[in-house]
Structure 1
Amino acid sequence: MPQPAFFRKTYDETLTLMVEARNYLRHTERRERERAAPVVGLRMSCEAMRVTSRLTQVMAWLMVQRAVHTGELTPEQALLSDRRLSGFDVCLDDSFVDDDSLPNGLRSLMDRSHRLFLRVARLEEMLVERVLH
């Protein structure tokens, strides 16, 4: 049975963003951080970890949804606390997305990963309402 369109599109977007983030962090971010002032370099490292956290949380959530779709989990099992999005204190913080001292490539990843996390959090809220209420 094919995956629902929202799932396929969100999964593809997440995977693409993960690959882009990996490539940026592997090839570009380190050089930019070495050229930056120490405080900016530290902020870059923190924000890179935040991007990684968001994308990891979203992909894990999508894998749980895939398990529901294939019948490996029930919708109720998927909504157990250890299978839901977490790390909201880290993942929702977008304090530095408009910080001009950060490189544009990193700021773009920060913004897009934040918007993706918010969208998936809304999807999860909708599932909670539908399944548990």
Structure 2
Amino acid sequence: MRMEAGSGQAATINLAEHRVFSGSFKKLYGEGMHLVEEAAEYLDGQGRLEAKSLTRIAATLYAAESMRLTTRLMQIASWLLLQRAANSGEMTRDQVAAEKSKVRLDTASAFDTDNSWGELPAAFRDLVDRSLRLQSLVRRMDGEVYGADDSFERRALNPVSDQITLLKTAFGR
């Protein structure tokens, strides 16, 4: 989006950057942290009970996907905390950019490739879906504010990595 500046020059306003570094960030931060809390409560309570009734294959998928969900949400929370630190002046944008290089916003899900996905509890599938949507939003914002990172696209083209992770989880290696 372009807006005219007083000197007759055009100034570019990056809407994602404006959202990340403005008061509207509080809503995104609240949604993200609420999802982290909701997932933790589910996995420690209802999810644990529901997982006991799954078939062996579905239980293996549930265990692997639970790890992916937890990892995804912790990475999103890390990104949100860094942005909050920048917004409050605790860190400079350059410090945030350096620290966020440790944050990975590319945790995939097996939902579209695994036949047992439909056997998983609906509440769990909903949490995974919502976490993926939030991760996608955060990734887009991160790319617009700090520059593109194509590591997720490269990884998405190679699904072998996810299958190896699933096998390691299933056989405890």
Query: In terms of Rg, which structure is larger?
Result: 2
Q: 1:29 to 1:110 in 2, by over 3 A?
A: same
The aligned counterpart of 2:35 is: 17
Name stretches of at least 5 consecutive residues in structure 1 with no aligned partner: none
- Equivalent pair of 2:65/2:109 in contact (CA under 8 Å): no
Distance in 1, matches of 2:126 and 2:90, equals 36
The aligned counterpart of 1:106 is: 124
Q: TM-score, normalised by structure 1?
A: 0.83
The aligned counterpart of 1:86 is: 104
Equivalent residue in structure 2 for 1:49, among 44, 47, 67? 67
Distance in 2, matches of 1:120 and 1:87, equals 8
Distance in 1, matches of 2:139 and 2:105, equals 11
Name stretches of at least 5 consecutive residues in structure 2 with no aligned partner: 1-20, 148-173
Residue 95 of structure 2 aligns to a residue whose secondary structure is: helix
Distance in 2, matches of 1:18 and 1:117, equals 12
Q: 1:6 to 1:55 in 2, by over 3 A?
A: farther
Name the stretch that deviates more: 37-46 or 94-103.
Answer: 94-103
CA RMSD for the aligned pairs?
1.8
Distance in 2, matches of 1:100 and 1:6, equals 36
Superposed CA offset, 1:46-95 (max 9, x none): 11111111111111111111111122221122111x4243162xx1x233
Distance in 1, matches of 2:100 and 2:33, equals 19
Distance in 1, matches of 2:78 and 2:85, equals 11
Report the alpha carbon displacement of residue 108 of structure 1 after superposing the two structures with TM.
0.1
Query: Does structure 1 residue 124 correspond to structure 2 residue 139?
Result: no
